[in-house]
């Protein structure tokens, strides 16, 4: 197959008007468009099938709506089988031939699954330094991004695409609810606690799809990518972590249960983090040493994935997990003093997640005793409508 026909297939706007029918994810589009005029390379990262490619397509659609000429946009799906033997530079050269573009002509370059190419960072650096283009990329594996972005230091802006938030969930379900309609909001919020925020799963509730996605992330992004021979231990660890969402966990205890070394557990958990499957939260401490050595708490990238594994039982854990995902960018720790735990403490806030429950007397005393600018008891859907 020749490159030209494959590029035409991937860039249908070159020869016809296209219609983008997907639901726009405005949070990410507005973030992309804030940086669209700057030179920096935009990286969209996040869990596999969280909607990164769709957001790239929505960005292209918006650029076209803003009167950009269709031939000034090049989209390349880099993991496409028909293009694997060509470098990014060769594909860009072919594009220039097709549209008779000179080296100084500006265009937008969209690269989907950029980290599927071993030397993507050298190619991006060369394009950034020598060409008049705006580059927007996507990748599901943070490992490569973090390991290899050193060459691109100062040239990039990373946007992590998260599962749908509650307002997006309602939009994907085609629901318009006024804030006054409490019973309806409560009912949809319970659905959100169960289903989570993987876009296609929210639209279809197809359990087979989510099971296949979990298999794909655990196998492709963890076992195959890191060439792990102990496949069984990784899968068992994944299940154990799903069961321990929101609970303090000890690497030693997990190693004991799985009959593998503590170092292996730490390494595998690190791989899960790099695939955006889990996030680790340290204990709040004024001493760095104590924070590092204390048990960790773990949260999953999407509660729907947890519920597929553990069934929809522990609503409190799912709720706490959703609160974590909402405040993740504030780098929360958990707070523990005299065996009384408060879920999250950030630079400005103290937050306790209680789904339809009250704080007991000891928790309330501890909550009131901690100094913090803002104190929030997240209880029910209202926390997610702010």
CATH of the domain at 129: 3.40.50.300
The model carries a pTM of 0.91
Q: Which helix (H) or strand (E) holds 288?
A: helix 288-293
294 and 328: one domain? no
329 and 248: one domain? no
**What is the number of structural domains in the chain?**
4
pLDDT at 119 exceeding the cut of 90: no
* Interatomic CA distance for residues 309 and 169, integer angstroms: 21
Residues 6 or more apart in contact with residue 215 via CB below 8 angstroms = none
Which residue, of 202, 229, 256, is where some domain finishes? 202
For residue 67, what pLDDT band results from cuts at 50, 70 and 90? Answer: confident
Question: Once rounded to an integer, what is the mean pLDDT over residues 133-157?
Answer: 73
pLDDT at 289 exceeding the cut of 90: no
Is the sign of the CA dihedral 96, 73, 37, 47 positive or negative? negative
Q: According to the model, what pLDDT value does residue 370 have?
A: 87
pLDDT at 178 exceeding the cut of 90: no
Question: Once rounded to an integer, what is the mean pLDDT over residues 226-242?
Answer: 93
Q: According to the model, what pLDDT value does residue 287 have?
A: 72
* Interatomic CA distance for residues 84 and 77, integer angstroms: 10
* Interatomic CA distance for residues 114 and 240, integer angstroms: 32
Per residue in 298-350, pLDDT (tens digit) is: 999 999 999 999 988 788 899 999 999 999 999 999 999 888 899 999 999 99
Question: Once rounded to an integer, what is the mean pLDDT over residues 192-221?
Answer: 94
Question: Once rounded to an integer, what is the mean pLDDT over residues 208-230?
Answer: 91
Q: Where are the beta strands (DSSP E) in 196-308?
A: 248-249, 278-281, 296-300
Domain span at residue 241 reads 206-310
Give me the CATH number covering residue 269: 1.10.10.10
Q: Which of 245, 267, 216, 298 is nearest to 48 (CA)?
A: 216
11 and 113: one domain? yes
pLDDT at 290 exceeding the cut of 80: no
For residue 142, what pLDDT band results from cuts at 50, 70 and 90? Answer: low
Q: According to the model, what pLDDT value does residue 1 have?
A: 59
């Amino acid at each position: 197959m020749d490159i030209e026909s494959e590029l035409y297939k991937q860039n249908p706007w070159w020869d016809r008007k296209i219609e983008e029918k997907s639901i726009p994810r405005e949070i990410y589009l507005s973030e992309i468009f804030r940086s669209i005029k700057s030179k920096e390379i935009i990286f969209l990262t996040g869990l596999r099938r969280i909607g990164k490619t769709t957001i790239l397509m929505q960005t292209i659609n918006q650029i076209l709506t803003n009167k950009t000429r269709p031939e000034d946009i090049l989209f390349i799906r880099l993991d496409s089988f028909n293009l694997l033997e060509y470098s990014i530079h060769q594909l860009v050269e072919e594009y220039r031939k097709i549209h008779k573009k000179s080296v100084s002509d500006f265009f937008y370059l969209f690269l989907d699954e950029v980290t599927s190419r071993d030397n993507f960072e050298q190619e991006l650096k060369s394009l950034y330094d020598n060409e008049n283009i705006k580059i927007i990329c996507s990748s599901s594996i943070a490992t490569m991004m973090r390991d290899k972005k050193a060459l691109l230091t100062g040239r990039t802006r990373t946007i992590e695409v998260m599962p749908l938030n509650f307002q997006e969930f309602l939009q994907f379900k085609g629901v318009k609810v006024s804030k006054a309609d409490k019973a309806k909001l409560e009912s949809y919020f319970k659905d959100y606690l169960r289903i989570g925020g993987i876009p296609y799963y929210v639209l279809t509730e197809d359990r087979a799809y989510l099971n296949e996605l979990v298999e794909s992330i655990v196998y492709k992004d963890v076992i195959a990518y890191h060439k792990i021979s102990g496949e069984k231990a990784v899968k068992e660890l994944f299940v154990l972590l799903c069961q321990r969402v929101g609970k303090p966990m000890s690497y030693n205890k997990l190693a004991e249960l799985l009959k593998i070394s503590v170092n292996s557990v730490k390494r595998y958990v690190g791989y899960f983090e790099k695939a955006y499957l889990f996030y680790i939260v340290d204990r709040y401490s004024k001493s760095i040493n104590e924070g590092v050595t204390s048990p960790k708490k773990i949260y999953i990238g999407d509660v729907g994935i947890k519920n597929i594994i553990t069934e929809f039982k522990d609503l409190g854990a799912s709720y706490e997990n959703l609160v974590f995902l909402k405040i993740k960018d504030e780098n929360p720790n958990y707070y523990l003093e005299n065996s009384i735990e408060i879920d999250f403490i950030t630079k400005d806030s103290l937050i306790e997640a209680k789904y339809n429950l009250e704080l007991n007397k000891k928790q309330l005393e501890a909550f009131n005793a901690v100094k913090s600018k803002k104190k929030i008891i997240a209880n029910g859907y209202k926390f997610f409508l702010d």
